[in-house]
Amino acid sequence: MRPLDGIKVVTFEHAIAAPFCTRQLADLGARVIKIERPGTGDFARQYDERVHGLSSHFVWVNRSKESLTLDLKQAEAMQIVHALLAGADVFVQNLAPGASRRLGLDYASLSQRYERLVVCDISGYGLDGPYRNKKAYDLLIQSESGFLNATGTAHEPAKAGCSIADISAGMHAYSSILAALLQRARTGKGTHIDISMFESMVEWMSHPLYYTYGGQAAPQRHGASHATIYPYGPFAAGDGKSLMLGLQNEREWEVFCRMVIQRPELFQDPRFSSNSRRHENRRLLEQIILESFSVLKVEQIVERLDAAGIANAHMRDVSELWNHPQLGARERWTQVSTPVGPIPALLPAGMTAASQPRMDPVPGLGEHTQAILRELGYGDAQIEALQRRRTI
């Protein structure tokens, strides 16, 4: 038995934030019915064709779901929506600002009909406030939240290499829904969850935010190096390869000086006597470290770091993750089906001995429409009529 077996989720979702949230629910056993626009569906289906013709974004966040196509402009389609909601536990949406209210699918309307329903709205900036009607995409939220300005080099800001604002909102929505289901088990009533991509990212920006407390200067950008802790970042070896290392405390700094760069006198050097001083003199310290590393191969440096108990990592290319030795040793890869055949899929990060995660197929557009309608009591003739009217 999975934790969310028997939980039914109805979702009006597109792109990443809401689909990532509901995929986590599906991983735990929830039945997720994804309502899509006939003909085109979730626009993330068309982002690219990198996975045997399917979108890399879409296959990532939409496994284990059922796809139902409905034209929500038609009254018959809304009847089907409400038939689904009558038996649902959770409703998730990240439509354009104001769209759910115009459809009568806002919490105020739904709570009057479905007392036990948990309603989760995911939007760019929240359902009220002066920014409530602004469109919001991942990179825009990275910019508005200050993340973009805190990331990059001294000369140029840089975006995150993944959809970090969408992921942040999706994870906050996921955990909030789990909490709401626990609360409902005690009260018998559903609740409303208002998730803002902007607020989710501001939460993740709290360290640099507090760093500026009282009007102090913001952290400077230092590329792949940590903005305020040093040495903590990438360093080149003599063989042209690079590695990442990180020191967190004075004990590690002493061991690093003695065992790794073999300059024990630096531990007593007042220029490097604390993290703040090392940060202030990072350019000088960088040259000392690079000089030490210039006569070593990257694996020799890794051996010294490991022997000293200093944290380090390889600077890997993304494509190397398919064959990463740690993922292989822990058997973290499985396969899921798609409309074009099986593809590899990473098992969910949360491991439990109590159950296996649900790893069902990525759905084709409208693949489950007829089956869901029959479940709701529609006969073949009624389904054919809906098809003729392009309701489904």
CATH number where 61 lies = 3.40.50.10540
For residue 288, the domain's CATH number is 3.30.1540.10
Percent of the chain predicted with pLDDT > 70? 100
DSSP-derived pairing of the beta strands 343-346 and 333-336 = antiparallel
pLDDT tens digits along 37-92? 999 999 999 999 999 999 999 999 999 999 999 999 999 999 999 999 999 999 99
Compute the distance between CA of residue 164 and CA of residue 349 in angstroms, rounded to an integer. Answer: 17
pLDDT tens digits along 141-156? 999 999 998 999 989 9
Domain enclosing residue 384, as ranges: 8-204+328-388
Mean pLDDT of 187-209: 96
User: How much is the pLDDT for 221?
Assistant: 87
User: Are 301 and 350 part of one and the same domain?
Assistant: no
- 233-247, 291-305, 343-357: which has the minimum mean pLDDT? 343-357
The residues that bridge with 346 in the sheet, in sequence order, are 333
For 346, phi and psi rounded to 5 degrees? -80, 130
**Average pLDDT value over all residues in the chain:** 95
The reported pTM is: 0.90
Is residue 226 included in any domain, yes or no?
A: no
> Burial, 353: exposed, middle or buried (Cβ in 10 Å; 0-12, 13-18, 19+)?
exposed
Q: Is the pLDDT of residue 174 over 80?
A: yes
Q: Residue 115 — very low, low, confident or very high, per pLDDT cuts 50/70/90? A: very high
Boundary (domain end) residue, out of 271, 292, 315? 315
User: How much is the pLDDT for 80?
Assistant: 97
Total residue count of the chain as it appears in this document: 392
Phi-psi region of 16 (alpha: psi -120 to 50; beta: other; left: phi over 0): alpha
User: Are 298 and 332 part of one and the same domain?
Assistant: no
**b/e 287-318 (16+ beta carbons within 10 angstroms → b):** ebbeebbeebebeebbebbeebebebeeeeee
User: Are 98 and 165 part of one and the same domain?
Assistant: yes
User: Are 169 and 287 part of one and the same domain?
Assistant: no
Q: Count of domains in the chain?
A: 2
Boundary (domain end) residue, out of 288, 315, 342? 315
